[in-house]
Amino acid sequence: METTTSSENMIGWFEEIAKNAGKVQRETLKKILEMNHGVEYLKKWLGDIDVDKMEDEALQSLYTSMVPLASHADLEPYIQRIADGETCPLLTKQPITTLSLSSGTTEGRQKYVPFTSHSSKTTLQIFKLASAYRSRVYPTREGGKILEFIYSSKQFKTKGGLCAGTATTHYFASQEFKLKQQQTNTFTCSPEEVISGGDYKQSTYCHFLLGLFHSRDVEFITSTFAFCIVQALNLFEDYWKELCDDLSNGTLSPRITIPCMRKSVLDLVNPDTELANSVRLKCEVLEELEWYGLIPKLWPNAKYVYSIMTGSMQPYLEKLKHYAGDRLPMVSADYGSTESWIGVNIDPCCAPENVTFTVVPTFSYFEFIPLHRHRHGDEVCDEVGGGGEDYLEDNPVPLSKVKIGQQYEIVLTTFTGLYRYRLGDVVEVAGFYKETPKLNFICRRKLILTINIDKNTEKDLQLAVQKGSQPLNNVRTELVDFTSHADISNQPGHYIVYWEIKGKVNDEILGQCCNDIDAAFVDHGYVVSRKANSIGPLELCIVERGTFKKIMEHFIGNGATMSQFKTPRCTTNQALLKILNLYTVKRFYSTTYE
């Protein structure tokens, strides 16, 4: 961990920029434009205007009036030219030698995003800042260990010879990550060969073996996403006996076949029969308790579990709490995207359900598009937004002009060549820390379920599934994961929700769940359409155990990493639908509107 002095220095730095957030934002925009003035994209809108000689406020006004809002599709031709080897300054004057690949789980396809040393530096910076705030609440011991479930994937070359891969892969390979490993007093249990092994099952096994070997020294458990920790602990339920044998003998399972990974782990472990017997006895008891409290039982000095737990990760929170027992705090990690880091969690003792993210005004230049649900009386208007949009919007406002309680879509101008880039994230301003806003993440703006005039977001689906799954609690059955599809192959179109469940439950209860999901969609367009039968009965498909693991492995096989993977909450991907339908074992249709 950071030393007390360096931690307080980081917090002092942040408080200073938070106190002058509006001014810092204008300075940040000027730095970006000074660095990149004259690149092809900006020249198209700003011409030969000399930004160096302009006052910050005048430049801000000129920039937002002359440069249009952009989607990834607007910038994609420039990024593709960079990927193909064009070296003239298209988006930045700094050479872009690396491209990040998004996971593709949100949009359905992977996208290239420019990645520079600035990306790694801001990642290191937000990690240090977040660590400083966590250390105030949960101080850790010098010389302790971190059990990190982190994974790299293979990097590859584009047509133009640029290095491409996921943002997490780039960061774990960066000098900044190596610097973090060298300069902090608490170290990850796993060496680089385990992190970059390229096989998540083998890496996970080694993470656990080393985490157990250093179990008395582990200060906290972490991964990029809550899903990664839950997925790892699911695997632990299968691995634990083998892990105990390896602990006892100082050996490594033959399931680990990657030579450099084997060597790096065997260089670090020694036989420890006493520890192995202790872990074995604990696991025998935990297995009887369905692994409740696994984390504190095996890592007794761990202070908390740390991960992104908001948005699409929220459905995994209950399972994570089950593994953590009733005393280990859940600390939500910070808010960012492949394109830019956005906000830091300065209230680590806040429950993940209520966490806010305080914008760091030096990371990018931020704008916020005010969003409004268009209502007629007490109902959402059928004609909201048009063209499939679920919000009406006003003109973007700068960070200093946002209002508490208002929802916004975030717009980014980054040091890496994205200009007035619509991120697609919907946030609500919960308050301010000095002059910088504190944001609640609401959802992705993109509509994920729509057939005609119905407009349901990821959040709407999440709430419907949460309500629909409540009957499972009464029969000790667990919802493992879910996704959905708006099926228009036949008329009328209808929603399909796919569930993977753990435990036995009768068809009557699952039929009730199906009705409850259907009734939980309160969007006016959906309700009207269901009553008029222009949208058909909701279909609930129960899939075999392990189906969502197959989906994850499909994405990983196509370039995503465990550290980046998010289950798509709605899919039109034919390969995924084929997996889902192949492994569907039961189907139920709602009778809610009959």
**C-alpha to C-alpha distance for 228 and 201, rounded to whole angstroms:** 12
> Which tokens belong to 93?
């004057």
Let me know if 255 is exposed, middle or buried by CB neighbors in 10 A (0-12, 13-18, 19+): exposed
Q: Residue 166 carries which side chain, given as an amino acid letter?
A: T
Mean pLDDT on 382-391: 39
| More confident call, 126 vs 46 | 126
User: Can you give the pLDDT at residue 554?
Assistant: 80
**C-alpha to C-alpha distance for 487 and 454, rounded to whole angstroms:** 13
| More confident call, 185 vs 191 | 191
Q: Is the pLDDT of residue 69 over 90?
A: yes
CA 239 to chain CA mean position, Å: 26
Mean pLDDT on 88-109: 72
Pick the most confident of 124-138, 294-308, 567-581.
294-308
**C-alpha to C-alpha distance for 174 and 242, rounded to whole angstroms:** 34
Q: Is the pLDDT of residue 382 over 50?
A: no
Using only C-alpha atoms, the chain has a radius of gyration, in whole angstroms, of 25
Is the Cβ–Cβ distance between 93 and 446 less than 8 Å?
no
Q: Is the pLDDT of residue 369 over 90?
A: yes
Mean pLDDT on 25-49: 87
User: Can you give the pLDDT at residue 106?
Assistant: 47
- pLDDT band of 374, cuts 50, 70, 90: low
Q: Which residues of 533-543 are buried (b: 16+ CB within 10 A; e: fewer)?
A: ebbbbbbbbbb
Is the Cβ–Cβ distance between 305 and 222 less than 8 Å?
yes
- pLDDT band of 177, cuts 50, 70, 90: low
User: Can you give the pLDDT at residue 562?
Assistant: 64
Nearest to 124 by CA among 182, 171, 192: 171
Q: Is the peptide bond before 492 cis (omega within 30 degrees of 0)?
A: yes
Mean pLDDT on 132-142: 87
User: Can you give the pLDDT at residue 176?
Assistant: 64
- pLDDT band of 3, cuts 50, 70, 90: low
**C-alpha to C-alpha distance for 158 and 247, rounded to whole angstroms:** 42
Let me know if 288 is exposed, middle or buried by CB neighbors in 10 A (0-12, 13-18, 19+): exposed
Q: Is the pLDDT of residue 380 over 70?
A: no
Per-residue pLDDT tens over the stretch 496-505: 999 998 888 8
| More confident call, 294 vs 167 | 294
List the helix and strand counts (H, then E) for the chain: 21, 24
| More confident call, 401 vs 534 | 401
CA–CA distance from 131 to each of 72, 97, 183, 233, 493 (Å)? Answer: 32, 30, 13, 24, 49
Is the Cβ–Cβ distance between 459 and 448 less than 8 Å?
no
Nearest to 319 by CA among 233, 205, 260, 208: 233
- pLDDT band of 386, cuts 50, 70, 90: very low
Pick the most confident of 50-54, 168-172, 343-347, 527-531.
343-347
Mean pLDDT on 23-42: 89
- pLDDT band of 344, cuts 50, 70, 90: very high
Q: Residue 528 carries which side chain, given as an amino acid letter?
A: V
Q: At what angle do helices 175-183 and 117-137 cross, to 10 degrees?
A: 30
The mean of the pLDDT values for the chain is: 83
User: Can you give the pLDDT at residue 36?
Assistant: 87
User: Can you give the pLDDT at residue 378?
Assistant: 40
% of the chain surpassing 70 pLDDT: 89
Q: Is the pLDDT of residue 28 over 60?
A: yes
Residue 209: HSE in the Cβ half-sphere, 13 Å Cα cutoff: 35
**C-alpha to C-alpha distance for 536 and 185, rounded to whole angstroms:** 59
**C-alpha to C-alpha distance for 366 and 144, rounded to whole angstroms:** 37
Least confident window among 13-27, 197-211, 436-450, 513-527: 436-450
H or E element: which one contains 575? helix 574-582
User: Can you give the pLDDT at residue 552?
Assistant: 83
Q: Which H, E and C letters describe 29-80, residue by residue?
A: HHHHHHHHCCCHHHHHHHCCCCHHHCCHHHHHHHHHHHCCCECHHHHHHHHH
Q: Is the pLDDT of residue 388 over 50?
A: no
Residue given tokens 């491209």 in the structure block: 99
**C-alpha to C-alpha distance for 548 and 161, rounded to whole angstroms:** 35
Per-residue pLDDT tens over the stretch 564-582: 677 788 888 888 899 999 9
Q: Residue 50 carries which side chain, given as an amino acid letter?
A: D
Least confident window among 32-41, 105-114, 482-491: 105-114
Domain parsing of the chain, residue ranges: 4-115+341-347+350-444, 139-328, 458-589
| More confident call, 580 vs 475 | 580
| More confident call, 539 vs 387 | 539
Q: Is the pLDDT of residue 38 over 70?
A: yes
Q: Which H, E and C letters describe 312-363, residue by residue?
A: HHHHHHHHHHHHHCCCCCEEECCEECCCCEEEECCCCCCCHHHCCEEECCCC
Query: Which phi-psi region, left, alpha or beta, contains residue 87 (left: φ > 0; alpha: ψ -120 to 50)?
Result: alpha
Phi, psi of 45 (to 5 degrees): -110, -35
**C-alpha to C-alpha distance for 422 and 369, rounded to whole angstroms:** 9
Global pTM reads 0.80
Length reported for the chain: 594
Q: Which residues of 82-109 are buried (b: 16+ CB within 10 A; e: fewer)?
A: bbeeeeebbbbebebebbbbbbbbbeee
User: Can you give the pLDDT at residue 381?
Assistant: 36
CA–CA distance from 361 to each of 4, 176, 437 (Å)? Answer: 24, 21, 10
User: Can you give the pLDDT at residue 390?
Assistant: 54
User: Can you give the pLDDT at residue 364?
Assistant: 92
Q: What is the DSSP letter of 203?
A: H
Q: Is the pLDDT of residue 120 over 80?
A: no
H or E element: which one contains 222? strand 218-225
User: Can you give the pLDDT at residue 398?
Assistant: 93
Q: Is the pLDDT of residue 290 over 60?
A: yes
Is the Cβ–Cβ distance between 63 and 29 less than 8 Å?
yes
Per-residue pLDDT tens over the stretch 500-555: 988 888 889 888 989 999 999 888 778 888 887 888 899 999 999 989 888 888 87
| More confident call, 372 vs 297 | 297
